[in-house]
Amino acid sequence: MNRFPSSRVAHGVVMAAAAAVFVACQVCSCSTAAIGADVPAEFKDPPREFSVMPFWFWNDDLKDEEIVRQIADFEAHGVYGFVIHPRIGLPRDIGWLSPRMIHAMHVAVDEAVRRKMYVVLYDEGMYPSGSSAGQVVARNPSHAARGLAKIDLQPGEDPKLKDGWKLVVTLDRPDGRRMTVVERPSGGVIRGLHYLGEETGKIKEELPPAGDILNPAAVSSFIELVYDRYAEEFGPHFGKTILGIFTDEPSPMGRGAERGMVPGNAALLDQVNRILGYDFKPFLADLWHDDGPDASQHRADYHRAIAICLEENYYRRLSEWCDRHGIALTGHPGGSMDIGAERYFQMPGQDLVWRMVVPGPRALEGGDSTAAKCASSAMVHLGRRRNANELYGAYGHELTYDEMEWLASWCFVRGHNLLYPHAFYYSMRGPRKDERPPDVGPNAAWWGKYRPYADSCRRLSWLNTDSRQVCEVAILAEPARLPDVPAKACYQHQRDFNYLEIRHLGEDAKVEPDGVRLAGMHYRAVILDGSLHVPADAIPALQKLAANERLVILGSSPYTAQLKGARPVASAAELPAAIGALVEPDLTLTPPSTSIRCRHVVKGGRHFYMLFNEEESPVTATVDLSVAGGRQWLDPFTAAATPSPPAETVVFEPHQLKVLAVTASSSDE
C-alpha cells in the first residue's frame, strides 16, 4: 500500500490524490539507446490549463480579502484553477446571483486573470441543476418539476383530479380494472444555499423547488436567469480565463419526488412516440404493472426515450448556448452510464461520489464502474479535447491518501484528462465541516505536500490530452446503458476499449469489412452484449460487421438470428480469446495478471503506457509491448527519466501506477 507521508513520495514512487501514483520503474525488453534522459518540455512543466480544478465550496460569509488569500494559497500549492461552487452555509444576504454573490465572483475572476489561473462557473445554487435556486418556479409556478402518476379506479369510478393535475389517459387493465394516468407536480426539490435555524442549533436545509427540465419553456427560463446573466457579467472572460459552465446531475423530477411517479408529462408523449417509432400511450400502464404483454420491454423503451428527451430539451439547449458564446458546457449528467447526454457537452464529464467506486469489486462491476470510460469514450468519438471527473465527493472524513490516489489512478488509466476534486472548503465552521466531506485541499492533512501531487496531475492530464489512444476494441452501448461485464473482461486482460454508443452506427461511423472507423479510431473487434437494445437503423451496420466476422456477441441476444457470421461467446471468460482472434495484443504480461489495467497513447512521436495495479496484492511480471524502441520511465512528480534496460522484471506494488515512454524505431503517430 502506498502511504502518505512517505519517503517514496520524495522519490516519485507514489502518485497522488488526483493523479495516480507513478513510479520510475522497469518493464519490457528493448534498447534504451534512442531515449537517453530526454523528457518532453511540456511534460516537465505543462500549461496551467491542465491543472486540477477543485470545487471551491463558497459556504460562509464571503470577504474580498479572504477570497484573494485563498486563491493565492491555491497557486502556491500548484493549483491553477477552480470551480466557483456556491454552497450551503452562505449567509441569507448572499442569495443566488444576488449583488453580493456577483461581486464575490468578480473578485475571484479578476484575481484569476491577474494570476493567469482558470475558472469554471457553476450554474445552480446548489444542485441538481435546472431551477436557478427556485427562481424558475418563482417566475412561473407551472414550471415546477412534474411527472406521471397512476390512479387505480374502482368499477364505475371516475378519476378525481386536483388543481394542477392533467388527465393523460384512462386505460382498461388485463384484470378487468381500470386506471388513470395523470401528469402532476412531482414535489421534487434541490438542495439550497442556506442553513435554516443555524442560530438555534436546530439546523435544516433550504430546499427550493426543482424546475421542469423536460419542459423547453422552463429550460428557456433557466437559461435566461443563469446563462444569460453570466454572459452579461463575465462574457469578456469566456473561453479565456473562464473555461466552462458546470451543469450538475440534472434530474427531471428533482430530489425527493413523490414515490411511484415516473418522469414525463402529457406534452412529451409526441416526442416519446417519435423516438420509439410507435404510440406509447396504450402502454403507459406498463410503467407500473408487469402483467401486460412485453411490459418490461415497454418500460425499458420509455425510459430510454425519456433519456433522449432530456438530451434534446435540456442538454442540447445549454450546449448550443455555450457554442454561441465561445465557452464549454462541462459538468456531468445524472447517471454514470448516461453516455447519450455526453454528446452535448463540450467537455464530457462524470462524477465519483458516495464511495460508488472503491478498491475491490466495485472498481469493475456495476453501472458506476463504467463512469470514467463513459466520459472518455464520448470525448474520443465526439472529437472533444477534454473530459472530466468530479471525484471524492462524500467519500467521508475517513478517506485516506491511498484511497485518494488510487481513485485518481483509476480515472487517468481510463482516459480522463481533467479532474474536479470535491472539494476545497472556504469555511469549516460548524456544520460545514460535515457537509459532504472531506475537504481534500487546504484543510486536509496532506496540504503541506500537495504541490508535487498537483504537478503530477498536470503532467498526466497533459499526457491524456491531444494524444492518440491506441485501441482497437469497442463495446456497444445504449444512450443510458453501458455493459460492465465485457468491460471487466477487457480490463483484466489488458485490452483497452471504448464504449461506442450504438446511435453512431446510424449517424457518423463508417462501417467497413475490417471494422468500424470513427473520429480517427479503428475498431477491429466490436462487442455486442446480448442484453443490449439495438435500434432498427443500426441493424444493417451490425449485419455488415457480422458478415465479416468483426462482431462478437456476448451471451444470448434476440438479434443473433439477424447477425449471421457474428462470433458468439457464452460467457465473459470466453471473450478475451474471441477478441484475440481479431486483434493482436498490444501488451502481454508474463505471467498473466488480472490486476493490471493499461492505457496506450501516442503523443509527440512517442508512445506512452500507463500501467496500473488496481488490486491489493503486488504483481511481478515481464512486459512485452507491440512497439519496439528505446524506453524510459517518467516520474510525474519530478519529471525525471529513468532508462528501462532490456528484459526487466517489473514489480507493481499494490495500487501503484507506472508510466513508460517509448521512442519507436519508426513513429506510427
pLDDT band of residue 666 (cuts 50, 70, 90) is: low
Write b or e for each residue in 41-51: b if 16 or more Cβ atoms lie within 10 A of its Cβ, otherwise e: ebbeebebbbb
- Model confidence at 32: pLDDT above 80: no
Residue 252 contacts residue 145 (beta carbons within 8 Å):
yes
In-domain check, residue 608 = yes
In-domain check, residue 623 = yes
Residue 592: per-residue pLDDT: 97
Residue 173: per-residue pLDDT: 82
- Helices 269-276 & 295-310 angle (0-180, nearest 10): 110
When pLDDT is averaged across residues 126-144 and rounded to a whole number, the result is: 98
What's the chain's average pLDDT?
92
pLDDT band of residue 291 (cuts 50, 70, 90) is: confident
Distance (Å, whole) CA 155 – CA 408: 59
Instruction: List the CATH number of the domain containing 515.
Output: 3.40.50.2300
pLDDT band of residue 24 (cuts 50, 70, 90) is: very low
State the CB neighbour count (10 A cutoff) for residue 334.
Answer: 17
- Model confidence at 35: pLDDT above 60: no
In-domain check, residue 140 = no
Per cent of the chain over pLDDT 70 is 94
Residue 597 contacts residue 494 (beta carbons within 8 Å):
yes
User: 540 and 494 in one domain?
Assistant: yes
Question: Which burial class, exposed, middle or buried, applies to 160 when counting CB atoms under 10 A from its CB (0-12, 13-18, 19+)?
Answer: exposed
Domain ends where: 520, 546, 580?
580
Residue 206 contacts residue 192 (beta carbons within 8 Å):
yes
User: 497 and 432 in one domain?
Assistant: no
Instruction: Look up residue 189 and give its three cell numbers.
Output: 426539490
Predicted confidence (pLDDT) per residue in 385-421, tens digit: 999 999 999 999 999 989 989 999 999 999 999 999 9
pLDDT band of residue 339 (cuts 50, 70, 90) is: very high
User: 369 and 248 in one domain?
Assistant: yes
Q: What distance lies between CA 396 and its chain's CA centroid?
A: 20
Instruction: Look up residue 486 and give its three cell numbers.
Output: 465485457
User: 526 and 407 in one domain?
Assistant: no
Minimum mean pLDDT range among 218-232, 307-321, 630-644: 630-644
Residue 202: per-residue pLDDT: 83
Distance (Å, whole) CA 662 – CA 643: 10
Instruction: List the CATH number of the domain containing 647.
Output: 2.60.40.1180
User: 429 and 359 in one domain?
Assistant: yes
Instruction: Look up residue 347 and give its three cell numbers.
Output: 467537455
What is the dihedral sign for C-alpha 143, 147, 148, 153?
negative
Stated pTM of the model: 0.92
Domain ends where: 465, 483, 501?
465
Minimum mean pLDDT range among 22-26, 57-61, 99-103, 626-630: 22-26
User: 364 and 420 in one domain?
Assistant: yes
When pLDDT is averaged across residues 547-552 and rounded to a whole number, the result is: 97
Distance (Å, whole) CA 365 – CA 531: 16
Supply the range of the domain harboring residue 604: 7-43+587-664
- Model confidence at 368: pLDDT above 70: yes
User: 392 and 340 in one domain?
Assistant: yes
Residue 515: per-residue pLDDT: 97
CA angle 516, 488, 345 (to 5 degrees): 55
In-domain check, residue 315 = no
User: 491 and 422 in one domain?
Assistant: no
- Model confidence at 619: pLDDT above 50: yes
User: 233 and 351 in one domain?
Assistant: yes
**Number of domains composing the chain:** 3
Q: What is the largest CA-CA distance in the chain?
A: 89
In-domain check, residue 312 = no
Instruction: List the CATH number of the domain containing 249.
Output: 3.20.20.80
Residue 37: per-residue pLDDT: 52
Q: What single string gives the DSSP state of each residue in 181-244?
A: EEEEE---B-B-S-EESTTTT--EE--PBPB-TTSHHHHHHHIIIIIHHHHHHHGGGBTTTEEE
- Model confidence at 590: pLDDT above 70: yes
In-domain check, residue 158 = no
Between the alpha carbon of residue 638 and those of residues 55, 440, 458, 462, 482, the distances in Å are 26, 22, 12, 15, 37
User: 518 and 408 in one domain?
Assistant: no
User: 460 and 350 in one domain?
Assistant: yes
In-domain check, residue 319 = no
- Model confidence at 8: pLDDT above 90: no
User: 402 and 484 in one domain?
Assistant: no
Q: What single string gives the DSSP state of each residue in 284-349?
A: GGGGT-S-STTHHHHHHHHHHHHHHHHIIIIIHHHHHHHHHTT-EEEEE-SSTT-TTGGGG-SS-E
- Model confidence at 109: pLDDT above 60: yes
Domain ends where: 518, 548, 580?
580
pLDDT band of residue 155 (cuts 50, 70, 90) is: confident
In-domain check, residue 275 = no
